[in-house]
Structures are given as C-alpha cells and as structure tokens.
Structure 1
Amino acid sequence: MKLSKYIETLIIRAKRNDKHFYTYITLVIIRILLIFVPQTGYIHPDEFFQSVEIMTGEQFEIEHTRTWEFNNTFPIRSMVVPYFLLKVPLNFIDFLSTYSKYYLEIDLRSSYMILIFPRMIMCAISFVNDYSIYKICEAYSLRYEIRLLALGSSFIMLTFATRTFSNTIEMAICSLITYYVADCMIHSNTVIYKKEFLQDRYKKAESISEKVKIWKLKRTLPAHNYNKYFSLSILCVIGVFNRPTFLVFGAPMVFFWLLRGMGTKTVNFFDFNIRMLLFVISSIPTICFCILVDSLYYRYLTTGEIHMLQITINNFVVTPLNFLKYNLDPEKTAEHGIHPKYLHLLVNIPMLYNILGIIAISSFIHLIYSFLRGMYQDLPRSQSIVGLMTAAIFTPVMALSLINHQEPRFLIPITLPILLLHSPKLVTGFCQTYPFKNQNKILYYIFNNFLSTRASAKFILNIWYITNIFLTIFFGFIHQGGVYQLARYFSNSMHAKPSTMNIHLITSNIYMMPLSIVNIPSSHLLLTNSETGKKYRRSKDFYLYEYGSLEIDKLLKKIKIILDVNEMKFINKKKIYRMYLAVPTSLAEDLNIGFQKFPDIKYEQVKVFYPHLSTEALPKIFGRHPCDLHVDFDNLQGTCDIENKNYFSFSYILKQFSSIVHQFGLALYRIEIVTNSKASTLPQQ
C-alpha cells in the first residue's frame, strides 16, 4: 500500500468516530506545531554538532564548530546521511534566500530558520515510524489505533524524533526494516502454507486433470524467497554508515528475514545461504557509494587524482570501521563517562517508555524464567511476530549494555517493537485472567486491585499521559533551554554592535553553544577583493570560551586572564571589546561570593533566559533569593536579609519557592575592569 492509500485509510477511520484515532491526529498536529514554537530545550550537544553545525556552517559560510569526530586524519562519522539529508536542502534554502531577501525582505538564512528547517526534515522522517507500525498492524490484523496513539503521545516522538540526532535516523530505518521483515515473514508463511497444502492435494489426486489443475494453482503462487532483499540491503548499509551501532539493531531483523520458512518442506539451508549471498552481494554497490562520498568529503580522494587515475587503497576511508575502532577501546569510551552495565535495562528503558518499559522488562524476565524452567510452550515461536519483536528489543539492549558509555537516546530505535507488543495494555490493563498458579488471599488481592483489567486499566493510560507530558516539557523546553535563547541574543547583538568592537563570551556549567545559530560570517573563509583581487579573511570579532562544569574559583581565574589579555590589546591597539559571562542562575550566590576576591572586576546582570535547567548546576532549595543578591558596578557586595527569619511564615515559604523558580534560568553578565582611561572611551550598554 502506498502512502496515499495509507492516508486515505486513516481518513476513513476518522469518519468512524474512533476516539483513539482523533487523539492520535491531535498529537500529530502537536508534533508538527512544536517544531515552529520552537522548542528551546537542548537534549544533547550531538543534535547540533554531529550534523546541523557542520552542514549549515559550510553551506551558509558562517562561523561553526567542527568537533573531533570529523577530523580528517581519523574521521569516525560518515557524511553520507547528513550531506543528502541536510546539505542538499540547505543549498536550496540558500538559493531561495537570495530572492526572498531582495523581493520580500525575508532572510531565510536567519538563526530561526537554521534551527527549525532541519527539524522540519526530521519531523517528516519521523512519520516513517507511524507508517511502519500501521502497516505491521494491518498485515497481522492487529489494532493499530491504540498503538498509533501510544506512539504519537510518546515524548520520544514529540522531542527526540524531531531533533537532528543520528539516533533519530536510526530509529526510522529500524522501523522500516522491521515492517519489511514482518511483511516478508507473513507473506512467506502464507505462501508456504498454500504450497504445502497444494502439494498434499497433488499427491492425493487420483486423476490427471485434477493434478494439472493443482499444478496450475501452484504456479500462480507468488514468489517469496527473496522478497525485498535489495531494499533491505540498502537500508542496512545506510543504517551502518549513519551509526555503526545499527549492526546490533539490524542483525536480529536480518536473521529473522533469512530464517523465514526454515523447517518446512519447501525451505531448507540452501535457501538460507542463497538469501544471505544475495543480501551481501546487493549491499556492495551501496557500500562503495558511501565510501566514495566519505573519501571525497574528507579529501582522501580528490577529483585531480581521479582524473590522473592516481588512486590507491589509501585514497579511501571507511568511517564505520574507524567508529568501531574508537568505541571498542574501553579507555577512549571511558573519557565520555563510565556507566554501570545495568543502566540501559533498569534505568533508560523505564525512563524512555515508563510503564510500557516496565511491562516489557517484566515480560522478558518471564520469558527467561519460562526458558530456565523448561516451559517452552510459553515461549514465542522463533518465526513469529512476537519472536521478532522480542529479539528486536533485547538483542540490541544487551549488546549496548556491554559498552561503557550509555545514554537513553541510544535505545530509541526499539520504540516500534516495544509499542507494538505492549501498548494495548494501556487500555486493557495488565492481566485479563488470573496469572498465578498458586491461589491465596495475597495473590488474589494483588490481582484484583492492581493487575486485573478492571483495576489497572483505570490508571495505566493516565500514568502514560502524565509521564510523557512531563518529559516533553522537560526535554522540549526546560533542559538547557537558555542556550538557544543565548545564541539568538548574540545573533541580534552582533548585527547591532559597532564594527570595531569584539565580543567575548564565557560560558560554564551549560552545554556547548552552537555557533551556527549565532549566524555570523566565517573568519576562516578565504575571500577575494573584487577591486584589487587580493585574498583576505574577515577579522574575527566573536570569541567563545566554553569551560564545561568548571568550579567558580577556577572560572574566575580564567576570566581574569582573558580580561588582562584584552586590556593589553585595548591599550596597545585601541581595540574596543565587551566581555560577557553566561552561567545558570543557580550559581548566582557562588558567583557573587567568588567575585569578592577580585575587587578590580566589575559585573552586572544583563539578561536572564527562562526556562533553563543545567543538571551540572541544579537549583538550591535553601539558596538565597536573587533579589537579595543585588550587585552592580557601584555596589560589589551582595546583601542578604537573613536575620529574624520565620521559617514557618507564608511569606518565607513563598519567597523560597520564588527563589527555586528564579534558579531555573540562564544568567548573562557583563564583565569589565573599569579604569579612568577606559571609562571615558567605553561605549554604553
């Protein structure tokens, strides 16, 4: 069924007044609208620095940060997917911007467009997951309304699925492959059943005419042995080059595709081996194409070398191999953080899928228990849809648990199988029948009050909704939410400042700020003067210093050094500069105390960006209220009214609550050393 038929079917379903479907359509609209709001939440630096930062920086010729993964000497990230997914559409936007700016006075190369345009592309790709889950349900006659509802209401689809993570692409590819394999499985099972049935009829037929009739029926059966092998091979290769961890997600699904029909009279190991051979051979052209694109991008191979036919094995780079070499080294992965082996199973799955994640883990434990007790009748068949989905969930989880560094987003490709298996429990509850073999009052009480359909169906869906709403707000708007606003602020400031002024921004206890959103011309690009023909580069006028989770005392020492260097430039070269510091408001008290050790440094708060939460600097429950920390250029010493507090008064409780709320922000401070000579020349804010 094509996409148009899929949409037509959904419209027909809507006319039947299905409440779950209407809720799903509402959630789809919300998913799209959240792109344009936009969501200020910043989930992880990789959503910018592994795709958007590089592609927009190169296409629009603006300042950007090129992280170590894209080092030409040892690149571990393939540029095939980002190039065709982002660079080509951005090239079209760049072309349109010339005309929209001239005729409509609308600049399509704005910071806002740099943020939302890649998210629009990712949002469109996210509907591959919706389509795949619908098609699987249709093929196996499953209820798709509640499964689409669970998918649409998941915070994974409302936040992660619209961000430029390689994991998001990995999730879409996994979902599509899961649909292809599931479809091939049921198609093969149907054809094999009919073929074996006709073979038995053929053997029992007594007349020649009846045998001829049965033989003709057998000839009309469709082929099934090698269905979709070329499509699967292409998707798998793209998945591996997008993110080599796709190997552990794709392996169980490819295995189930190879295993179709094994054990029957018409499929044997010869068919298994031929399928494998065809799959490998058909993947070679895509592999060669991806290697060629990466080799050209990282300049291992140049057009001049191709023209002169001076090509050796050293002219090619295989980025997935470099990725595996790096990540299989425990010492290198430890630099990104060491996590316990149980983190994915016991923490990340419940966080991503909340109650459905807990149900999935419980079901898996039950399967292990049944296997160890020899109750093989309780296990799913090896070639069933339940077996496929179970393998697609826990094979990659177990494999990824062996790696030191574990993040929740690594697991989002298992979204489709988890929701396909367990989302009906959102409306049916945990158990429709008594699940225990033993019968006693305690087990009856647990079943009647928590596990039965009547008891559990009341609260499961509510828990699902509440948890996903909270996580959507947290990851979509609060987590590191001030970073994007900070970048937009300096984007506007850079266009308004004098051309002779340099801006220095120091950040601490926040994520890396994407320079592409600041949207300033690149200082590394070699330009040509149209009149003289001389080569030149633009002078750099924006400097960013990022110090991670640096302690306040060490941070202030860094600030003092940068100030002293700029003061020397100011004296000798008459260079005008302005320095800013951006830290979470939860550090306002510590910052105030720390600055008292530097009486020659003056600072004032310029702006606070709300909401913002840095897990590196969590709000303090009993911290001093920001209003009690009034600091300006004339009064360095903060004041705090701490005498005669009534801890049980309504005003004190309200003030403490206000203090916590005010700490959910990102404060921007202007810093300077004021001297007599400088005070007369420094422009006013």
Structure 2
Amino acid sequence: MTSSIIDMGAKVWLCLVILRFMVCFYPGQMKGYIHPDQFFQTVEPLAGDIFGFDHLRTWDWNATSPGPIRNILFPYASVGASFFALKQLSTSGYIDISGYTLQAFPRLAMTAASLIADIAVYKTTKSLDLNPWNCLTILASSYATLAFHTRTFTNVFECALFALVLMLVVMSHKDDLLQNKRHFEGNTTNTKSDNNRHVGKKRKTKPKSSIEKQAVPHAAISSSPNEALVGFCLGFIVILGSFCRPTFPAFFIIPTSFWITGSVTSGDIKAVWEIFKRVAYIVPGAFMTFVVCVVMDSIYYGTLDAAILNNPTLLVQNLNLDLLHNITITPLNFIKYNIQNSNLSPHGIHPRITHFLVNVPMLFLPLFVCFLKDAVSFYKTWHDRSLENEISLITSHKLFVLMFLTPIMLLSLIPHQEPRYILPVIVPLVLLYSDSLMKPLSSIPKMYWILFNLIGCIIFGHFHQGGLVPCMEYLHKVATRPIENNPTSFHFVFFHTYMPPQHLLHLQDQILPPFANFSMEKYQHILPKQENVVTIHDLMGSDQLTMFDRVDKILSDIKTVTPKPYQKEIYVISPASLDTIFCRLNVKYNFKLINQFTHHLSMEDPPEWFPSYECVAQPDRSYSRMNFGDKFQAMLSLFVYKVEHVTYLDNAAKS
C-alpha cells in the first residue's frame, strides 16, 4: 500500500512539473504580468545586449550613485543563455524571433532553474526520513511555483539556492537531527500518555507536522558529506546568492549558523576550534566566488578594463588603491541605496508588518494556517515542566521554523515589502506541513489547497495585467506595417499600466525618446531612412489631465518635432476600468477604440462591475448595449484607442 502511494506521488509530481513547463510553452494561457521586475531586472537589458533591440535600461543597471545594483552573472547564465540559443536557432533558420519566442525561451530557462529547489527538497526529505512526494507535490502545486517560478524573477534563483543550502546542512547533520527527532517524538508520546493518565481521559492531539512524522521506512544512514567540501559549497552558494539577491543573507543565516555550531555542545577550547575550522572551510569558496562576481560586474559596467586582467604586467603595475576604486560591488551598492528611505519612496513604503499580515497569507495561506496552529500548540505546552528536555534539543522542526520566521522578520525591517521577496520560505513551510495538506493515504492534496492555488494561478498567472504583453505584439505589427506613401511616427501612450517591456516590440534603431527636442538636421540624421519610428510614453499612474496634456503636446508638435515626410499616429493603451475618460467627445480629438485584450485585471484600477453608462464618442461600445458575456469580457480588458482629429470644426469654419 505504501509503495503504491509513493509511486502515485511521484507521478503526481511529474505531472505538475510538466504543467510548469507547459505554462512556458503556452505563455498566452499564463500571460499575467506580475511585476515589472520580471522584465526589467533580466530580460529587457539582455535583449538589448544580445539582439540589439531597442530597450529601456532602468536606473538599477546604469545608476552612477551609488552605482549599478544588478549582478550580471545570473541574468546571463539563464536568460542570456536562452537568448543566445534563440539567436543561433534564428540565424540557422530553424525559428523566428517573435514576441512569443522572446517570452518562451527565458521562461523555459527560469523554469528549468526552479527544478533545483525540487531536487534539493527531495534530498532533504530523504535525509530526514520524510515522504518526499508529499513535500514535492505541495511545492509543485503551489501557485507561488506555477506563477512566480515560471517568470524571469531573480527570486527564482534565491529560492533554489536557499533550498541547496538547506540540503547541504541537513545532509551534513542528519545523524544529529534524526536522533533528536526520535527523542522529540518519544518524549512527546510519553508526556501525552502521562498527561492523559492525570486527566483521566484521552486528550485530542494536534495533527503532526511533516517533520514529526515518519512517513516512509527509515533507510540506512550513509556517512555525512565531507565537511571541507560542504563548507566550500556553502561559501560558494552564500556569496553567489548574495550577488543575485542582496537579501539572500536573511535566508542563509540560520542554516549556515546551524552548520557552523550545530555539533558544538560545550564552550571549551575544542568547541571554539570546531567553529573556527568550519568558518575556515567556508572562506575559500566564498572568496573565489566574490572575486569572480566582482570582476564580471566591473568589466560589464565599464569600471574595470579587461585588458589589465589579461596582461600580467599591467595587472602588477595597477595593483594599487586606484584599481580598488575601479571595481563594482553590486550588493554593496544595493545596500547603500536601500538604507535610505527617501530612495524607497518612489517604489512604495509599506507598514513593517506587511509581510506577516498580507504577503505570507497571500502566497501560502493554508501553510500559514498550519504554522499558526503549530505556534498555538507550542505556546500551550511552553510551561509544561515535562517538556523541558525536548525544548532544549535542536530538532529539524525547530530549525525549519526558524528558517521560516527569521527571513520574514529581517525583511520586515525594510519598509518596501513585496510578496515575491519572501518566496523562498515556501521551502521550510512544505517540509514542515506538507503532510497536513495531503489527503490521508493519498497522493492528492486536500481540496482547499487545490482551490486556493487555482485561484492564485488564475489571478496572478492569467488575469493580473494580462493584456499588456499580448498588446505589445499587436503594437509590433502596427509599427512594422508596410509603408504605403510616407513612413509613420507612432506614439504609444501607456496610461495606468505596468511599464511596457520595449524589447517585445523587437525593433532596432526605431524607438526614439519622448520629447527629444532635436533640431531638424539632427532629427533627420538619427531617423532611419523610410522606416517607421516609435516613441513610447509611459505615464504610469498619472491623472487624466496629464494624459490629455501629453496627447495635446504630441499633436501640436511641442517638443516632438516630426519631419515632413513622416505622418503621425497616436495610440493610447489603458485598462477598460477607465473607459469613461475616453468616452466623451472632445473639441480637438476623440479616442476611437480599435482593439482590446482580455483578460486584464488592474489591481490599482479595479473594474466597475457591470456598468451601464453610455459612451458618447462610440455608442457601439456602451455597456448598456452589451449582453452579459460581452460586458464581463469588456470589464476585464486592456483597451487600445487611436487618437482621431476632429474634422467637423474645420468643415464648419469653411462653410
């Protein structure tokens, strides 16, 4: 019976992994745009580096003070590798570069990287005699995995590296953890029996967490890995993760500290030597990785000349303080930037309890409920003298609880708090409570876990800003349409949307900055001969007066000089929830709805459910004239309007 459940669990996990990859092969079905960082921290700048596409390189890649904060190793190892493969396939004629391939290839690379966490969790559970398939099923079925880990977030690597650190620590200390676990379970059983005899009736006991159960037969314990090798790997991972995500120390501090001090039971000189020795094991891997990352970043950002490194003579001649001033340490720049609240204000300032009260429940509500039940149960037994011995033990249960709580508390010190920052804590949570979320004697999760994650996938994976990426492919077709008479200067105005990823237009030397104010001679020199050009105006969450003013300036050629051979077209992209702004008739111009992309949900501008207003500018799109299905589709859409000049005033003046 147990063997068949394990086999079925492996099949369920495999199906979920296939689903994870299918999400990447069919980005139109999981088109949610979760956060601009999924493009602008990785994909957007690399599309410019590798393909030469017009793109937007945000401040964190080119800041002069305190300096760039993005490490280039991870983006190039994942997104860059996928783009190089796509470029080679395109050059060989096997595949075309399109909006689809520019999305699918990087997401496939990130999804493959996310499997590192699955492998590490499997190894960890096997070392602790847990049922690996329960943990892997909960991990793989979480919408945090299906929606976030299939996007190009650097948090995917942070989660994978955190799982690797945990795996190394558990495998190194598994003898101690297993012994303490059995002692913990034995003391708990004896204490409950004594308490039941005192009370005279059987008490209800809480469901055991995954760590407190022995779900599979105990296998023979192999010898622990070599300490020097584990220390080298830990040093390599903690520095690599810190360059990828400078918040990574919040995650590795507990498992690494446990590895350094876990076997120490006294405070004598021998214990001090043991700690010193393990710290020394970490240093070589950490130092080597630090040097490699700093050199790569310094060369990429132009602060260090690669010719010096290739010439030993020049390197010796420049080994002075000036050379040290020419290196770029991106995690240090990240810290300098984020310690000032004034720098974080444009990104959003949140209450310090946002992670605990909002982000953790939003991502892992059923797991968080299990943790709260566990915390209440622990509090009730805190003063029970019979539990003193077991409380003093270092058990895997306590270790994983600390690895969940500590990162949340440390990251809560930063006033800018987003859900994706805490994605890695899913690893200790599934190790703690996966069994509680599985149906008894089954490899299928309980229904409330399935429903919770299904809703999360629909909202964040499909609906959230879901019309923007398909819209970019449509705008590419608009900008590259055949030229009949004269080329066109297109102006795409994005209003109350996330930042548009310009690389999805896959244009080269055709996107001009807004309000360039070039002289005519300079403008003619920059503009490609007989090619359409594009200007992107990202108005973000500006008010409607700002939007109208921008359209006025574009139409009146104020600071947007258009050479005579070029004609001008203006398109405004906005959520359907703001359609009333565009429905009125204006004196100079009107907004004609020419396309819409479903499904699109803007949390900042939620739709008005089943509005009944009349659209004066375009009566056919009045909600009162739509049936139920059309209303629902129109409410959750991204609208594309074309600005049209009003001509009847000119005709009236002539008559």
Provide the rounded CA distance (Å) in 2 between the counterparts of 1:614 and 1:190: 48
| Residue 260 of structure 1: how far off its partner (Å) | 2.6
Kept in 1: contact 2:582–2:591 (CA 8 A): no
Could you tell me which residue of structure 2 aligns to residue 250 of structure 1?
252
Which of 19, 27, 45 is 2:16 aligned to? Answer: 27
**TM-score normalized by structure 1?**
0.78
Which of 639, 642, 645 is 1:670 aligned to? Answer: 642
| Residue 372 of structure 1: how far off its partner (Å) | 7.7
Amino acid at match of 1:600: K
| Residue 132 of structure 1: how far off its partner (Å) | 1.3
- 1:484 aligns to what SS in structure 2? helix
The answer as to 2:496 corresponding to 1:509 is: yes
Q: Give aligned pairs, total.
A: 580
Could you tell me which residue of structure 2 aligns to residue 79 of structure 1?
72
| Residue 655 of structure 1: how far off its partner (Å) | 5.2
Aligned pairs for 1:102-501 (under 5 A) are 104=94, 106-107=95-96, 109-187=97-175, 224-263=226-265, 268-306=271-309, 307=311, 308-309=314-315, 310=318, 312-364=323-375, 366-367=377-378, 377=388, 383-427=394-438, 461-498=446-483, 500-501=487-488
Residues 573 and 584 of structure 1, relative CA distance in 2, 3 Å threshold: same
| Residue 281 of structure 1: how far off its partner (Å) | 3.7
Give per-residue Cα distances to partners, 1:133-157, cap 9 Å, x unaligned: 1111111111122211111111011
Identity of matched residues, %: 28
Which of 591, 599, 615 is 1:629 aligned to? Answer: 615
The answer as to 2:543 corresponding to 1:551 is: yes
**TM-score normalized by structure 2?**
0.81
Residues 225 and 371 of structure 1, relative CA distance in 2, 3 Å threshold: farther
Provide the rounded CA distance (Å) in 1 between the counterparts of 2:245 and 2:157: 9
Amino acid at match of 1:403: I
Give per-residue Cα distances to partners, 1:378-406, cap 9 Å, x unaligned: 96555322122111111000011111111
Provide the rounded CA distance (Å) in 1 between the counterparts of 2:389 and 2:361: 25
Amino acid at match of 1:503: F
| Residue 20 of structure 1: how far off its partner (Å) | 3.4
- 2:438 aligns to what SS in structure 1? helix
Provide the rounded CA distance (Å) in 1 between the counterparts of 2:501 and 2:367: 35
Give per-residue Cα distances to partners, 1:443-491, cap 9 Å, x unaligned: xxxxxxxxxx9xxx9x981111001011111111110001101111012
Provide the rounded CA distance (Å) in 1 between the counterparts of 2:410 and 2:386: 26
Provide the rounded CA distance (Å) in 2 between the counterparts of 1:317 and 1:118: 26
Residues 302 and 370 of structure 1, relative CA distance in 2, 3 Å threshold: farther
| Residue 493 of structure 1: how far off its partner (Å) | 2.1
Provide the rounded CA distance (Å) in 2 between the counterparts of 1:393 and 1:639: 50
| Residue 27 of structure 1: how far off its partner (Å) | 1.5
Residues 60 and 232 of structure 1, relative CA distance in 2, 3 Å threshold: same
Runs of 5+ unmatched residues, structure 1: 1-12, 193-219, 430-452, 526-535, 642-651, 680-685
- 1:268 aligns to what SS in structure 2? helix
Amino acid at match of 2:617: V
Residues 16 and 142 of structure 1, relative CA distance in 2, 3 Å threshold: closer
Could you tell me which residue of structure 2 aligns to residue 36 of structure 1?
25
Amino acid at match of 1:143: N
The answer as to 2:68 corresponding to 1:68 is: no
Residues 51 and 639 of structure 1, relative CA distance in 2, 3 Å threshold: closer
Runs of 5+ unmatched residues, structure 2: 181-221, 513-524
Provide the rounded CA distance (Å) in 2 between the counterparts of 1:283 and 1:350: 35
| Residue 427 of structure 1: how far off its partner (Å) | 3.0
Kept in 2: contact 1:259–1:383 (CA 8 A): no
The answer as to 2:594 corresponding to 1:606 is: yes
- 1:280 aligns to what SS in structure 2? helix
| Residue 661 of structure 1: how far off its partner (Å) | 3.9
Provide the rounded CA distance (Å) in 1 between the counterparts of 2:462 and 2:581: 26
Could you tell me which residue of structure 2 aligns to residue 90 of structure 1?
83
Provide the rounded CA distance (Å) in 1 between the counterparts of 2:534 and 2:101: 21
Amino acid at match of 1:631: A
Kept in 2: contact 1:356–1:422 (CA 8 A): yes
Could you tell me which residue of structure 2 aligns to residue 207 of structure 1?
none
Give per-residue Cα distances to partners, 1:22-78, cap 9 Å, x unaligned: 322222221111111112110000000000001112100001110010115211111
- 1:344 aligns to what SS in structure 2? helix
Provide the rounded CA distance (Å) in 2 between the counterparts of 1:267 and 1:387: 26
The answer as to 2:534 corresponding to 1:542 is: yes
Could you tell me which residue of structure 1 aligns to residue 185 of structure 2?
none
Provide the rounded CA distance (Å) in 2 between the counterparts of 1:488 and 1:341: 39
| Residue 557 of structure 1: how far off its partner (Å) | 1.9
Kept in 2: contact 1:371–1:379 (CA 8 A): no
- 1:578 aligns to what SS in structure 2? strand
Kept in 2: contact 1:45–1:511 (CA 8 A): yes
| Residue 537 of structure 1: how far off its partner (Å) | 5.5
| Residue 83 of structure 1: how far off its partner (Å) | 2.0
| Residue 167 of structure 1: how far off its partner (Å) | 0.9
Residues 672 and 395 of structure 1, relative CA distance in 2, 3 Å threshold: same
Kept in 2: contact 1:62–1:521 (CA 8 A): yes
| Residue 621 of structure 1: how far off its partner (Å) | 2.4
Residues 291 and 380 of structure 1, relative CA distance in 2, 3 Å threshold: farther
Higher relative contact order (CA 8 A, sep 6+): 2
Residues 372 and 168 of structure 1, relative CA distance in 2, 3 Å threshold: farther
The root-mean-square deviation of aligned C-alpha atoms, in Å, is: 3.4
The answer as to 2:520 corresponding to 1:520 is: no
Residues 82 and 223 of structure 1, relative CA distance in 2, 3 Å threshold: closer
| Residue 163 of structure 1: how far off its partner (Å) | 0.9
Provide the rounded CA distance (Å) in 1 between the counterparts of 2:560 and 2:86: 43
- 1:335 aligns to what SS in structure 2? helix
Amino acid at match of 1:665: S
Amino acid at match of 1:295: S
| Residue 221 of structure 1: how far off its partner (Å) | 7.6
- 2:228 aligns to what SS in structure 1? coil
Kept in 2: contact 1:72–1:298 (CA 8 A): no
Amino acid at match of 1:319: T
Provide the rounded CA distance (Å) in 2 between the counterparts of 1:639 and 1:95: 49
Provide the rounded CA distance (Å) in 2 between the counterparts of 1:247 and 1:640: 52
Could you tell me which residue of structure 2 aligns to residue 532 of structure 1?
none
Amino acid at match of 1:476: G
Kept in 2: contact 1:370–1:379 (CA 8 A): no
Provide the rounded CA distance (Å) in 1 between the counterparts of 2:263 and 2:55: 52
Kept in 2: contact 1:504–1:542 (CA 8 A): yes
Give per-residue Cα distances to partners, 1:590-631, cap 9 Å, x unaligned: 3224xx3x3110221110000001112110125236xx4263
